[in-house]
Chain A
Amino acid sequence: MADAVATTQELRIVGQPIQRHDARDKVAAAMAYAGDFALPGMLHAFVLRSPYPSARIVKLDTQRAAAMPGVAVVLTARDVPKNTLSTDVPGQTTTVGPLRATLHVLAEDRVRHQGEPVALIAAETLEQARAATEAVDVEYAPLPSVFTTADALAPGAPAVHESGNLLAQWRIARGDVAAGFARAAVVVEGEYVTQFVDAAYLEPESGVAWIDSDGVITIRLSTQVIEHFRDVAEVLNVPQNRVRVIGTYLGGGFGGKEDVTVEVYLGLLALKTGRPVKMVWTRQESLLARAKRHPYRLKYRTGALATGEIVAQEIDLLADSGAYAYLSALVLLYSTVTAAGPYRAPNVSVVARVAYTNNPPTSAMRGFGAMQTVFGYESQMDRVARALGIDPVRVRAVNTLRRGDSLPVGQVMETHVAIPELARRAWAALGTPAAPRAPHVKVGRGLACNLQPYGRIVWLHDWSSAWIGFEMDGSLVVRCGAPDVGGGQASSLCQIASEVLGVPLDRIVVHVSDSALTPLSGTTTASRQLYMSGNAVLKAARELRAQLLTVAARLLDTDAEKLEMIDGAVHAPDARTLSLRSLLVECARASVPRSHLGVYHAPAGEPVDLNAGAGKVFPDYTFGAHAAEVEVDTETGEVRVLKYAAAHDVGRAINPQSVEGQIQGGAVQGLGYGLMEDVVVEDGINLTTSFATYLIPTAADVPDVEAIVVESGEGLGPFNARGIGEPPIGPPAAAVANAIEDATGARMTRLPITAERVARALGLVTE
């Protein structure tokens, strides 16, 4: 494997539950978020958005708006140097094969979803910008529209795009499915439906842009991808080195800040006006316009032997891309690869399609297509176990992939799949079952396991870089382009550098997320940042250490391999020490650099041909098992999660506190997905554009989540860590649905599992 770096030595800093440097700032409200920045003479910007899900723009007159008090500029499609934005090549990627997703920065002659940007206004105050937005004279003529994937794919459906409504499809076929079903002792069929959900981060999309004294268009914003500076440059038609993106610490990303948000608008307005400009989306705007998680219709037919061994899987997936492609084709690929779960599937067929509609667009969100499938395959697994009378932990152990087995897509599992152990531990953590509080309250338990890729698709040739350097006083600087989305990305990099170079954490400063001043590291998405940039920092630190120890070895007259760097000093085996300061002075004298740039390249591969048996798609996977105990009120259908345990094999926990945070946060977000979150879209109109109607869990709605951290030492990341950003959001919906069936016998197949849906499943409401 390329240049992954492993270690067997004893660790001092890595593995410690260290309080992150950003944690205190956040709870003390001392952290400056993107919306907190202001510059003298700054304009305020606002986007005019389409009220209609499908319409032709017959008139767009900005004259009156432009003449309003305080208005600096009103831009429409005509004013954008290059009005086309590519949306499927984020980060370090240079090619993605044949798929090329594009959209217009500002609508030209047609809008395809409610909330599509039509014009851009900057004014002296936000109120003036808003008033001008309302003064733009737009006339729309409604066009035919389509709001369900089934309708979209029906013959004669109105075309959302000229290329047709089928945006992408993937197919896998392996073994002999019919023969598998013929051998099966039990065949379970299920159809599952999942909904649109929103990232619902605390911090909405926001940023400030200005043209710096060097003429570089500088944009400071909340983003998961500083490499969008290239997209801004392309739209503005300026050289890429004329745009700089500075990322702030995020108040949440969850994939919602993976595609461009405010940066292109801010770049355009700064360029057109020459003035600083700020844009902060309102919550309503964010809920209205931001891309959502794909709703899926998942059909499963599963055949198993009496032992529980699955011998046939027939899977059909259909996803809603909304009005634009964004990352839909890749999301669908994740679903295709994970459709059968972390289980053996000797005979399997997967057909996956994603269609355009006039609904809100969908794109990346934590889990990225590998999440919806968990609800499918884990519901099926549970039904198989129930039909055969097999314990839920055992049925999973029977089917778990072993090292050397391959996924339906043909990728060989080169790693330990800890599912049986994780399932056992999560299940055991539930302890003794709660007694029902009343005769009509039923208590039940459910288990759900998952696999989630971490790192990017191998043919994206992912890489990351980091720079590490000592100041003359022995303090250390780490520079790395990685945006910190709140998962402790920056702080973990410090821990790794501290471990290798023996510099105490309070002597390290990390600069992240600046496309001009930090080496590029790619996106903080795909659970890749610890894996990729952690490895880049580790590499930089190791190579820098080797560089310095050559000098130290000469001074101490011993072999470099025998030296250790601990607590700001070099230690020889015979207890002699050399202070870092003296070593650095000596390095300067000897012309040995005291800094180093490390570049880590992930294992790469070529695009796979799914029809030809395919092969490796992802570098590696993270596995998990969640167990839930729920009570169901059989008079009202209300479900309450009483206990929750979530186990993941994280390879190695660099900072156990951050790992637990990811597991707990992911589980809670997954419970929201399972039980209440729902972007309600009626004929293309989003009815849930505030937190009064888009419901996310409150503290009163979720139990304590017991995080079980398992360290197999099998990951590809630094010190054998695996990615843990996305994996914990996968299992909760299925775990809860399985627990509800255990409690009541009712099988929930549609998300979110609301009280009313349960009541209907229980036969309480029949109308």
Chain B
Amino acid sequence: MMRLPPFTYVAPRTVRDAVAALREHGADAMLVAGGTDLYPNMKRRQFEPKVLVGLGGVAEMRGVRGSARDGFTIGAGTTLSALARHPDIVRHYPGLATAAGLVSSPQLRNMGTIGGNLCVDTRCNYYNQSFAWRKAIGFCMKKDGEICLVAPGSPRCWAVSSSDVAPVAWSLGAKVRLVGPAGERVIPAEALYRDDGIQYLAKQPNEILTALLLPPADGRRSAYMKLRRRGSFDFPVLGVAVSVRMDGETVREARIVLGAVASQPREATKASAALVGRQLTPEAIDAAAEAAAGPSKPLDNTDFTHPYRKKMTRVFVARALRRIAGLPVSGRVEEELA
């Protein structure tokens, strides 16, 4: 059994106290919510915080509030299980409910939070290994080392954004609320991410993500499709989030965002543009799918090879759009219910 390194656990009851705790302990501290990502990483010594500020006791960060007309505020501490089952979310933001319900396994969804999922660490075959393994192979720049083992000459890390919810939040035009020592700010979900495997979040380490803010439902349709090897457990090898707003039969606004293709979610802007002003016919869908580029870099540092994932991008974008259009779909992706 791999064991957690020793640390001090601080359990604030309010966001304010949590911010204060982060300020007090500075670079030694990290936030933990469900711990389903952080604790395994700590066991592998990918993170070695001396202090953990636990968000589990912060009641104001839990729960879903709002309405379809005005939009919803989802507390960052809401569990993925609760989100996946929430009737309003299932009804008005089906893509979000699906994504939350497809994360890992039922047990992990009962512990894992939406906030933790939006901030989940990036992944790479050479990084998601035990300390001894990484030491053996000489470490890489994401932790303890100097070079990138996947692309040795590269000045940056290419670890892959692997959150199921992040691309959905982006595609919905959702925002996140960040609270830090300097106060509170609200930024678009896409502004939370950076295209870097190490510094993959644009927020400050001492900022707490307190809520995910969903825009008004307002004729919005959404879907999420996930490629993975097994029917449970596995991180996405590819995630496709689509969100569309209609004007009658015509697409007024469309956003297609891909997960697990780069160090941050990536918007397939050409594909989205190909839909606007058109009806969701099979032809329009195929054209959009064709325009959705696959993973940007041919790096094989997760599962499956680059050409296959590229090919699947097309298939999954088409399927997600077909779902939205009410056309028959038949992936096995949606079968595991939350």
Interface residues, chain A, with chain B CB atoms under 8 Å away: 49, 51-52, 114, 126-127, 134, 280, 282-284, 288, 437-438, 440-441, 633, 635-636, 638, 640, 676, 685, 687, 689-690, 692-693, 695, 697-701, 754-756, 759-760, 764-767
User: Which residues from chain B contact A127 at a C-beta distance below 8 Å?
Assistant: 3
Q: Is the pair B125, A765 in contact by a Cβ cutoff of 8 Å?
A: no
Given the contacts A127-B3, A282-B1, A685-B137, A636 and B229 also touching, CB distance less than 8 Å: no
Asked if A701 and B231 sit within 8 Å, CB to CB, the answer is yes
User: When the two chains form their complex, are residues B1 and A280 in contact, meaning their CB atoms are under 8 A apart?
Assistant: yes
A282 to B137, CA, bound (A): 19
CB pair A765 B229 closer than 8 Å: no
Q: Say yes or no: B130 contacts A690, CB within 8 Å.
A: yes
Give 11 new A-B contacts, CB below 8 A, not counting A754-B229, A765-B308.
A127-B3, A438-B330, A635-B315, A640-B332, A676-B229, A687-B125, A690-B130, A692-B233, A698-B105, A699-B232, A700-B335
B128 touches A756 (CB 8 A): no
Indicate the member of A282, A284, A699 with the most B CB atoms within 10 Å: A284
B137 A690 Cβ-Cβ under 8 A: no
Q: Which of B310-338 contact A (CB under 8 A)?
A: 311-312, 315, 328, 330-332, 335-336
* B192 contacts partner chain A, Cβ-Cβ < 8 Å: no
Once A440-B330, A638-B332, A756-B308 are accepted as A-B contacts, the answer to whether A695 and B130 lie under 8 Å apart by CB is no
- Verify if B227 is at the interface (C-beta below 8 Å from A): yes
In the complex, which residue of chain B has the Cβ closest to the Cβ of A441? B330
Q: Determine if B308 and A759 form an interchain contact, defined as CB atoms under 8 angstroms apart.
A: yes
Q: In the complex, what distance in Å separates the CA atom of A689 from the CA atom of B2?
A: 13
Contact A698 B230 (CB under 8 A): yes
Chain B positions within 8 Å of A, measured between CB atoms, are 1-3, 105, 125, 128-130, 132-133, 135-137, 227, 229-235, 304-305, 307-308, 311-312, 315, 328, 330-332, 335-336
Compute how far the CA of A759 lies from the CA of B308 in the bound complex, rounded to whole angstroms: 8
User: Bound complex: CA of A700 vs CA of B332, how far in Å?
Assistant: 11
Q: How far is the CA of A762 from the CA of B130 in the complex (A)?
A: 37
Question: Residue among A636, A697, A759 with the most chain B CB within 10 A?
Answer: A636
> Closest Cβ of chain B: how far from A684's Cβ, in Å?
11
Contact call B304/A756, Cβ cutoff below 8 A = yes
Q: Which of chain B's residues have a CB closer than 8 A to the CB of A438? A: 328, 330
A434 to B123, CA, bound (A): 39
* Interface contact B230-A700, CB-CB below 8 Å: yes
CB-CB under 8 A from A437, the residues of chain B are: 330
Known: A635-B315, A638-B332. Contact between A695 and B230, CB under 8 A? yes
Shortest CB-to-CB span from A633 to chain B, Å, is: 7
Whether the pair B229, A764 counts as a contact (CB closer than 8 A) is no
Is the contact region of chain A dominated by helix, strand, or loop, or is it mixed? Answer: loop
Q: How far is the CB of B231 from chain A (nearest CB, A)?
A: 3
- List, in ascending order, chain B residues with CB within 8 A of A697's CB: 230
The distance from the CB of B126 to the nearest CB of chain A, in whole angstroms, is 8
Q: Are B311 and A633 in contact (CB under 8 A)?
A: no
* Closest CB in chain B relative to A222 CB, distance in Å: 15
Q: Which residues of B contact A441 (CB under 8 A)?
A: 330
Which A residues touch B130, using CB under 8 A?
Answer: 282, 284, 689-690
Q: Tell me the minimal C-beta distance from B229 to chain A in angstroms.
A: 6
Closest beta carbon of chain A to B2's beta carbon, Å = 5
Instruction: Give complex CA distance A441, B137 in Å.
Output: 43
Q: Are A51 and B3 in contact (CB under 8 A)?
A: no
Known pairs A695-B230, A756-B308; A284 contacts B330 (CB<8 A): no
Q: How far is the CA of A288 from the CA of B231 in the complex (A)?
A: 25
Chain A residue with minimal CB distance to B134?
A: A51
Select from chain B the residue with minimum beta-carbon distance to A284. B130
For residue A698, which residues in chain B have a CB less than 8 angstroms away from its CB? 105, 230-233
**Which of B227, B235, B307 has the largest count of A CB atoms less than 10 A from its CB?**
B307
Q: How far is the CB of B238 from chain A (nearest CB, A)?
A: 10
Supposing A284-B130, A640-B332 touch, asked if A700 and B231 sit within 8 A by C-beta, the answer is: yes
Residue of B nearest to A686 (CB): B133
Q: How far is the CA of A738 from the CA of B11 in the complex (A)?
A: 57
- With A126-B3, A282-B2, A440-B330 as contacts: A51 and B230 at CB distance below 8 Å: no
Contact of B133 among A284, A700, A701 (CB under 8 A): A284
B137–A51 CB distance below 8 A: yes
- Chain B hits for A126, CB < 8 A: 3
Name 5 A/B residue pairs within 8 A (Cβ), A-sorted. Answer: A284-B132, A288-B133, A633-B330, A633-B332, A700-B232
Contact of B136 with A51 in the complex, beta carbons under 8 Å: yes
In the bound complex, do residue B229 and residue A695 qualify as a contact, i.e. CB atoms below 8 Å apart? yes
Q: Given the interface contacts A52-B136, A689-B133, does A636 sit within 8 Å of B312 by beta carbon? A: yes
Which residue in A689, A701, A755, A765 is a CB contact (below 8 Å) of B129? A689
Q: Distance in Å from the Cβ of B145 to the closest Cβ of chain A?
A: 14
Docked-complex contact B137 and A759, CB < 8 angstroms: no
User: Smallest CB–CB gap between B19 and chain A, Å?
Assistant: 33
A700 to B336 alpha-carbon distance, docked (Å): 8
Q: Which of A636, A754, A765, A766 is close to B331, meaning CB atoms less than 8 Å apart?
A: A636
CB distance from B34 to the nearest CB of A (A): 17
- What are the 8 A-B residue pairs with the smallest beta carbon separation, nearest first? A51-B136, A700-B231, A438-B330, A767-B307, A756-B308, A284-B130, A700-B232, A698-B232
**Alpha-carbon gap, A640 to B230, bound state (A):** 10
Given A676-B229, A695-B230: A765 and B128 interface contact (C-beta under 8 Å): no
Contact A636 B230 (CB under 8 A): no
CB A296 to nearest CB in B, in angstroms, measures 23
**Chain B minimum-CB-distance residue to A764:** B311
B-chain residues with CB within 8 Å of residue A636 when the two chains form the complex: 227, 312, 315, 331
- Which A-chain residue is minimally distant from B126 (CB atoms)? A687
Residues of B near A288 (CB, < 8 A) are 133
Q: Please give, as numbers and ranges, the residues of chain A lying within 8 Å of B311 by CB-CB distance.
A: 759, 764-765
Closest to B298 in A: A767
Do B307 and A765 have beta carbons less than 8 Å apart? yes
In contact, B305 and A756 (Cβ under 8 angstroms): yes
Closest to B227 in A: A636
**Chain B residues with Cβ under 8 A from A676's Cβ?**
229-230
Chain B residues whose C-beta falls within 8 Å of the C-beta of A284 in the assembled complex: 2, 129-130, 132-133
Can you name the residue of chain B whose Cβ is closest to the Cβ of A115? B136
